[in-house]
Amino acid sequence: MTVTARIDLLVRRRPPRPSPVYDTYWRFATRRQDVFHRRVRGEPPPWTTDPVLTAYRFTNAYRASDRVSQYLIRRVVYEGNQAPEEVVFRVLLFKLFNRIGTWELLSDAHGPPRADIFDVDRCDQVLSAAFDEGKRLYSAAYIMPAASRSSHRKHRTHLELVRMMLRDALPQRLTCASSMDEAFQLLLGYGGIGPFLAYQLVTDLNYSAVLDFSEMEFVMAGPGARSGLRKCFTDPGDLDDEDLIRFVADRQADEFAARGLDFEDLWGRPLQLIDCQNLFCEVDKYARVAHPEAEGIGKRTRIKQKFRALSAPLAMWFPPKWGLNDRLPGSEALSRPPRSPASPDRRRSRLAVAL
């Protein structure tokens, strides 16, 4: 469905009724993106006068700009064999843990993970040893349930899940998917993968050359976004959560202009559905301080993660098919991800960069 057709459909429904937090949604997006661009340009902190942004940590307005997504794109997707089976394997193995340190534990132990020699037992030994030493294996970004009851250790079930996906020829089936929704449904059929995780996985796979869907094609609201939507709209009208996200994404240019906001996008790329979804999650957090009276879903009233300014400039690199890399400050139309010297210092410095 085209953007015009979606808007026409929405117009015929009872429209949503925005709250004061909806205005904050657009101001937050503008200020957070301004911080991002200032860091990319190498400007020194502070990058904003917003007291909430100065005190607390928030993700970037664009999902692909965040630290873990950047690592995934540069070091997991586009480094190594580009055969679909290998790319899909690397993305799924990385994202089921969603933690850079876990990927590097596996890489350091046996070399960069490869589908053609993937050994669950060897990987389990590495991760079990790290777990026994008290190391975290999973990101705190979202809760990962065990994929099955086949093991008393959760990480073993996810390794077995990846093996099952390879045996099921999932990479080949994904390449035959005619839409992002179809690819999403293929992922949703596996144990431990709910709707929101399946949406995250298909988005990450879509960064690669294996899939080539528009990020404006499909969206699935996560728990944080659903709470943010409740705060931004006192009445959703006749729209469900996904339609509200589409409504916002389709209107973004008008909404920024109506508030006199100069939103500096991603070098010509407007906010996509995944970005608008993420922004609702971040505004849910932001509103805990800026709009404590706003009611979302759940009882959270505090923002846990504090912001710590790091002065090192950000080095960005995006999927080549987006055509952005030759627009970045100081870039030279890169067709491959920039590489750094392989050394322990390089790895530590890379992990220290928090967006």
**Are 109 and 152 contained in the same domain?**
yes
pTM: 0.90
Tokens of 333: 């139309």
| Rounded average pLDDT over 324-333 | 79
**Are 326 and 227 contained in the same domain?**
yes
Q: Which residues, listed in sequence order, are joined to residue 269 by a DSSP beta bridge?
A: 266
pLDDT tens sequence across 280-324: 999 999 999 999 999 999 988 999 889 887 767 788 999 999 999
pLDDT tens sequence across 117-166: 999 999 999 999 999 999 999 998 777 888 988 888 999 999 999 999 99
The residue from 170, 199, 228 where one domain ends is 199
Residue 17: phi and psi, rounded to 5, are -115, 110
CA triple 220-328-286, angle to 5 deg: 40
**Are 136 and 169 contained in the same domain?**
yes
Nearest to 285 by CA among 272, 304, 308: 304
pLDDT tens sequence across 170-195: 999 999 999 999 999 999 989 899 99
Q: Are 127 and 120 in contact (CB under 8 A)?
A: no
**Are 88 and 186 contained in the same domain?**
yes
Residue 3 pLDDT level (bands cut at 50, 70, 90) = low
**Are 24 and 43 contained in the same domain?**
yes
pLDDT tens sequence across 4-51: 656 555 556 799 999 999 999 999 999 999 999 999 999 999 999 999
Q: Are 196 and 203 in contact (CB under 8 A)?
A: no
Least confidently predicted of 54-63, 101-110, 309-318: 309-318
**Are 213 and 352 contained in the same domain?**
yes
**Are 10 and 158 contained in the same domain?**
no
Q: Are 111 and 123 in contact (CB under 8 A)?
A: no
Specify the pLDDT at position 9: 56
Residue 210 has pLDDT above 70, yes or no: yes
The residue from 179, 199, 219 where one domain ends is 199
Split into its structural domains, the chain has a count of 2
**Are 212 and 187 contained in the same domain?**
no
**Are 25 and 134 contained in the same domain?**
no
**Are 230 and 250 contained in the same domain?**
yes
CA 187 to chain centre: 17
**Are 187 and 248 contained in the same domain?**
no
**Full residue range of the structural domain in which residue 144 is found:** 83-199
Q: In the chain, what is the greatest distance between 2 CA atoms, to the nearest angstrom?
A: 59
The residue from 137, 169, 199 where one domain ends is 199
**Are 70 and 167 contained in the same domain?**
no
Nearest to 308 by CA among 62, 131, 64, 58: 58
Q: What is the DSSP string of 220-239?
A: ---HHHHHHHHHHEEE-TT-
